[in-house]
Structure 1
Amino acid sequence: MSQGIKLWDGTRWVQKNDAARIWNGNSWQKAKVKLWTAQGEGFRTVSETQHQKTWEATWTQGYWGNGEAKPNYRLSVANRVMQGRYGAPWSLEWEGGIQGGMIGFDDNDIRNSLRDSAIEKVELYLHSQHWWYYAGGTAIIGCHNARGWQGRFQEINYNVAQQRYYNRDEGHWITLPNWVGDNFRDNRLAGITTHANSSDAWYYGYFHGTNDGWKKPKLRITYRK
């Protein structure tokens, strides 16, 4: 039997669930209704429902070790999400340093969707395009709070999650801490970074960006409201 909240509108019963409101004497507040299930789990909150939403990246950018945005130049593709130091820097025209990547989303829509919600799971889809080694590498995930495309690399949270890759062309849904979703909801984060504070070639690679169809980065958040 389904559980939820129905209110009589004068002609029929209407399913309300998370839309139900209660007057506190000054304003209408979201109603929190619990139902005793008598099935071992005790009270269940039926005024909240679980939601899951996925946002595709709206912009991506790779950056040189000095923080400057990479241009489209020969083998350099600006849209790629970079990470790490090239394994043979002596073979290049110049030293690129420890590179990084930034990923942006429609953070305004994320905030609107997550308003008044409890975050249950946060996942990032990141599809590698290349690693220095055929055996793959490790992605180091961080966060930024920059709105819109940036000409210089920015990061406010380093190494919030790591993911091992075993092939050069490989995609993963990477679980991030729930506080990342909290901070997106509360206007303290706007995007994701890739940045390994190491010159070890194990961390050198790049990931597909917004120009790469289904392989572009995505953010998936499961929440209850």
Structure 2
Amino acid sequence: MFQMFDINVLNRRLFRILRRLISGRDDFGPYSIWNFCPMNRWNQARALVFSCSPCRSEWFPYLFWTVVVSSFIGCIISLWELRRVWKCPCQKLNMWRNRHFYIINHRLLRQARVCGSGISSFLWFLLILGITLITPLFMWPWIFMTTIVLSVEWFIWGFEILTGRQNIEFHTLISLTLPVFNLGMVLCVKRVFDAAVSDDSDFSLRIF
């Protein structure tokens, strides 16, 4: 027992000497194999992710005008799709990714497409109003609906990939990823608008 104690003391002294030679420090530091603290680790991970976020003052003009342009493009495309499906009921439907419908027939699918295009056009219009008038409340419907749609789309696509019904295609992956980036930019703009409205400093954010 006495010999084992001497070995432990010797190992500890050697460790301190090595630490002093390498890092110039003589302490063991705050490291521990039992200090889990999951909430602290989660907060640190979130801080690391948001520190890499492009939602900063130097990047905000680029994000803002990208959101403005994409909002007008989205509204125009939704209105064009609504007009096309409404006036040409026999025209073949074009999907932005490959899909398989096992239950819905063609008539119900087209009715759902007309309804979806109308709702999408209205939500894009509200988003444009929210951006131009600096009204974050008008941006919420688009954010809420887009979050639900993207969550469902990613879930269905992942399920079809896992079950072998579809293969991973670059076009589909890009089509699913770009809306996520657009949603992130809209959330950034909304967060800046919320802070500006609460501080009554939105004069530098107005288009008109």
Shorter-chain TM-score category? Answer: under 0.3
Asked which structure has the greater CA Rg, the reply is 2
Bigger RCO of structures 1 and 2 (CA < 8 A, at least 6 apart):
1
Q: Which has the higher helix share?
A: 2
The TM-score normalised by the length of structure 2 is 0.22
